[in-house]
A and B are shown apart, each in its own frame.
Chain A
């Protein structure tokens, strides 16, 4: 991720006030998303996704409004953009109660860290593993 500029509430909505800061995952601008480009196939479903940089910007705006936790959520989300849809769903299911052993949760945390550079997501999973152990919510070891 590149260094994000400082933002204030006056920059919101970014789509209106700061469109120059926004890119699609393939590097296109908001203005490039036109009906002609959709029809010609230049814009694909892949373009209609948010980038980690944009999520960091939105997180900063949230924090500038005093919304610390929403900012943190945006940071976790920025990390998760790299994870394929199916794996995001699988990870969510693995975090449900009694769904994973301590070792499986640690494996997931490591994968988040090593494969996706998702350090804050990994920390959330490790925290869950600790609480699940204390509250008897881990799956039985085989």
Chain B
């Protein structure tokens, strides 16, 4: 760290060009020197341990330089649950450069490199990915991501916790293509109404979208058990024992919670990311990526189907150090390689520079991940209660153009204005009917009209917050379940929405959504890394954007007709 204050006032004359560069948005971003002793380093640190493993009596007794009596609880959990004891000594004996080449070489199958990965320790995995540049990391992601077809996830929140806004934006998000929708709250007590808005709006836009409400662990599970939400993701894990304990959990409590969700048929993934440990003040002198690899192996050991990673809310930390965004791509690669569903970040405000926001996105968007964004803001960022995302509503058209330019599938599509207005209006009307039926504070016609045409929460009439909170309390007290919502929607003339919702709830009985990277397609067919397993094996294989889907992505807001240059294609 330098003791010299940056950008101090100076009387020294600067060039016109420097003035222009100083004014560029990228110079509002924060950059800092590495400080490896404190863990403020992306992935290249002399303080990370050297890889090692030793097995005695069918048990791992040494892991990355520590013997069992020196293990902290992460070492113990990883040694006992994540690493394959039978194969680890052979796997560890493979040269790291050989493994790195296997990740890139299309002639090595995904299955082979995943099998080898089952026997590796965190330090060995780190040694492998350190050999890979960002393009090689993308090659690895393309091959190892678990689901064949990429998808995307949205945030739908409101600065005023307005459930009608959340419903309308969820409906628009769903029709634009998001497979999963996530909300959270400013005022936590609003949660039941906002979660209902998200669920109802999602089923209006496209039947089969899955929804979640990010809250404290116990409350999140409660909403899931009631069937008001369909999955959960905000189950945070950390790479050092001290930070894990600060988060009031252990690998065993989180593994128990993972089984609790599965026992109710509810899809769930954990969340982790580079930078969280150093941000929470105890990285124990390890690099960000080393600690994240420990998280990934902990998640695998717990038997959870997936992980949201890619720094997530801590992106400012790796973003500030050299090679940080490469490390973020590397953590997505490792999650995919460890055969977990990967919801790959790009979900937090990260840079003032539009160019830098885009470059941060490409290592996930170009190879494709299970969810390119684990939270594209389907509301303007000022309404984003996750503190803003890397992408937001006014980026929709740019996103669609990038998909078309690069011929890559980022999970979204351009949708005509009349269709968007129709689904927004219908979502708001469904909420109006539902609230009336359940004796919740009325939604006026003025609010429905506002929801149809709105951009942000500023465009809606204010609600009576105290009455809403009372209504939210009564939803919980009356024990209202997802099935009650289905019945009410059916009774009030929104039978198709009710039917969609019921089909989502019905998936709990099948348990199909518990499998790796499972989503529901528009026909309510579960698509997971089993029936839609990634089969990339080099050029001409794997997911290719073609056929009907490619025709869909060729459409934009403005495309000139080839036959008549005076006309635009609709």
A34 to B471, CA, bound (A): 29
Partner of A135, one of B118, B241, B301: B241
Contact pick for A89, options B72, B82, B111, B218, CB 8 Å: B218
Chain A residues near B81 (CB, 8 Å)? 69
A12 to B517, CA, bound (A): 13
In the complex, which residues of chain A have a beta carbon less than 8 angstroms from the beta carbon of B526? 12-13, 15-16
- CB 8 Å contact bits of B244-259 with A (1 = contact, 0 = none): 0100111011011111
Docked complex Cα distance between A113 and B406 (Å): 56
Number of interface residues of A (CB under 8 A): 65
User: Given A49-B264, A91-B256, do A97 and B250 touch, yes or no (CB 8 Å)?
Assistant: yes
Residue pair B218, A132 in contact (C-beta under 8 Å): no
Interface presence of B528 (CB below 8 A):
yes
Q: Which residues of B have CB within 8 Å of A47?
A: 509
**Residues of chain A with a CB closer than 8 A to B222's CB:** 85, 89
Interface flag for B99 (CB, 8 Å) = no
Q: How far is the CB of B430 from chain A (nearest CB, A)?
A: 16
Question: Which chain B residues border A14 with CB–CB below 8 Å?
Answer: 510-512
Establish whether residues B263 and A80, one from each chain, have CB atoms under 8 Å apart when the complex forms.
yes
Separation of A28 and B81 alpha carbons in the complex (Å):
36
How does the 8 Å CB contact mask read for B280-318 relative to A, with 1 for contact and 0 for none? 000000000000000000001111110000000000000
B256 touches A132 (CB 8 A): no
- Interface 9-residue window, one of B2-10, B342-350, B457-465, B498-506: B498-506
Please measure, in the bound complex, the distance between the C-alpha atom of A97 and the C-alpha atom of B249, giving whole angstroms: 6
In the complex, B432 has a CB within 8 A of chain A: no
**Assuming the A-B contacts A24-B509, A48-B505, are A65 and B264 also in contact, with contact meaning beta carbons closer than 8 angstroms in the complex?**
no
Assess the B502–A33 pair: CB atoms within 8 A.
Answer: yes
Chain A 76-117 against B: per-residue CB contact (8 Å), 1 yes, 0 no? 111111010100110111011110000000000000000000
Task: Determine the chain B residues whose CB is within 8 A of the CB of A43 once the complex forms.
Answer: 483
Q: A9-B531, A49-B265 are in contact. Are A80 and B259 (CB under 8 A)?
A: yes
A-B CB proximity, top 7 nearest: A73-B303, A50-B265, A77-B262, A128-B252, A80-B263, A15-B510, A69-B303
**Chain B interface residues (CB < 8 Å from chain A):** 72-73, 76-77, 80-82, 84, 111, 114-115, 118, 217-218, 221-222, 225-227, 241, 245, 248-250, 252-253, 255-265, 300-305, 339, 481-483, 486-487, 490-491, 495, 498-499, 502, 505-512, 514-516, 525-526, 528-531, 533
